[in-house]
Amino acid sequence: MIVDLPDTTTSKISKTLVKIREEGGAVALGRVLTLVISTRLGHEEEAIEAANDASREHPMRVIVISSGSDHPDTNDASRLDAQIRVGGDAGASEVIVLRAYGDTASDEEGLVTGLLLPDAPVVAWWPGDAPDVVSQSPIGRIAQRRITDAAAQTDPRSFLAHLSTCYTPGDTDFAWTRLTLWRAQLAAVLDQPPYEPITGVEVHGSSDSPSTSLLAAWLQLQLDVPAKHELVTPAHGSSGIQGVRLHRESGVIELERTNGGIARLLQPKQPAHDISLPRRSLRDCLAEELRRLDPDDLFGEVIQSGLGQLDEPSRQAPAKSSPTTARDTSN
């Protein structure tokens, strides 16, 4: 069910929610958190779809506040248009979409405060452009967890560098979340004999992948060896992390993405193995971040200490046959 509330107020939205609850059942029962999504007007649906899918694992109230469209007709008058989605149109959540225009958009915290679930944690997510300091932003101040996406920024690597200087416990970024499968696979490989120390690390990925730098920083911290990371333009337009090489006395361990969601694992004196290493969707990343509401201390260590210890990445000239493709933010 979708209920539209043009030119409305937060009070009217709350009353409508109560009415829906009385007529159709206790909508808010079983909600474990409030997810606040801050985005631009006209860019809400992809984030809402990911939240609806993730809500099947984490029943929640989703509040989407969108503002700042470049369309000239949206900035003339101050008003708030709202839409409430429940039932089949909201997955296992209830979705409140707030479209703020003009001066109304200047008080994001005031718009959402009256709609938060009582005594439930708040998670904030910026799927597009993020505030300069997320923990000090109007939405960030009321959230226990704050999720950004470096890959969605104009300069992903500069954004990570900036995040390292203003990191606050509770901050996280999807560039880190996309590394979960890579980290798990590499840890599993090193948990097998021979148990030799790693003497060198190489990570290479596309020039638009902030996860490449984070993976190199994590490996350098965990293995206590210098990590080289190389940014390349892939010959087949594939974005994200391309591969990792771990050097030790008996030879080189290579984990290389070959095609789509498949990676090839090469180890000395062992046959090659093809491993499922799928690219993570927005829904997968969001669902994983919602599984923990405490600060991610390891991410904090990597972003604050590990990233600054990395040398500048080497860059490989693009191959002449490489097609120009849109950014793929999955890894």
Q: Is residue 168 part of a domain?
A: no
Nearest to 289 by CA among 125, 131, 44, 111: 125
Are 109 and 240 contained in the same domain?
no
Are 190 and 119 contained in the same domain?
no
pLDDT in tens, the chain (331 residues): 899 999 999 999 999 988 888 876 555 556 889 999 999 999 999 999 999 999 988 899 999 999 986 554 555 578 999 999 988 766 767 899 999 999 999 999 999 999 999 999 999 999 999 999 999 999 999 999 999 999 999 999 899 999 999 999 999 999 999 999 999 999 999 999 889 999 999 999 988 889 999 999 999 999 999 999 888 775 544 578 999 999 999 999 999 998 878 999 999 999 999 999 998 999 999 999 999 999 999 999 999 999 999 988 887 654 333 333 334 455 7
Quote the number of domains for the chain: 2
Q: Is residue 163 part of a domain?
A: no
- pLDDT on residue 90: 67
pLDDT in tens, 222-246: 999 999 988 877 554 457 899 999 9
- pLDDT on residue 29: 54
Between CA 268 and CA 271 the distance in angstroms is: 8
Are 121 and 64 contained in the same domain?
yes
- pLDDT on residue 69: 63
Are 133 and 16 contained in the same domain?
yes
Are 144 and 258 contained in the same domain?
no
Are 232 and 301 contained in the same domain?
yes
Three-state secondary-structure class, residue 186: helix
Between CA 1 and CA 22 the distance in angstroms is: 15
Print the domain residue range for 236. Answer: 180-315
Q: Is residue 97 part of a domain?
A: yes
- pLDDT on residue 1: 86
The answer to whether residues 163 and 148 touch, using CB atoms and an 8 Å cutoff, is: yes
Are 85 and 41 contained in the same domain?
yes
Exposed e or buried b per residue across 40-54, where buried means at least 16 C-beta atoms within 10 angstroms of its C-beta: ebeebeebbebbbbb
pTM over 0.85, yes/no: yes
The answer to whether residues 80 and 111 touch, using CB atoms and an 8 Å cutoff, is: yes
Q: Is residue 159 part of a domain?
A: no
Q: Is residue 263 part of a domain?
A: yes
Distances (CA, A) of 200 to 11, 209, 290: 60, 22, 34
Q: Is residue 101 part of a domain?
A: yes
Are 236 and 185 contained in the same domain?
yes
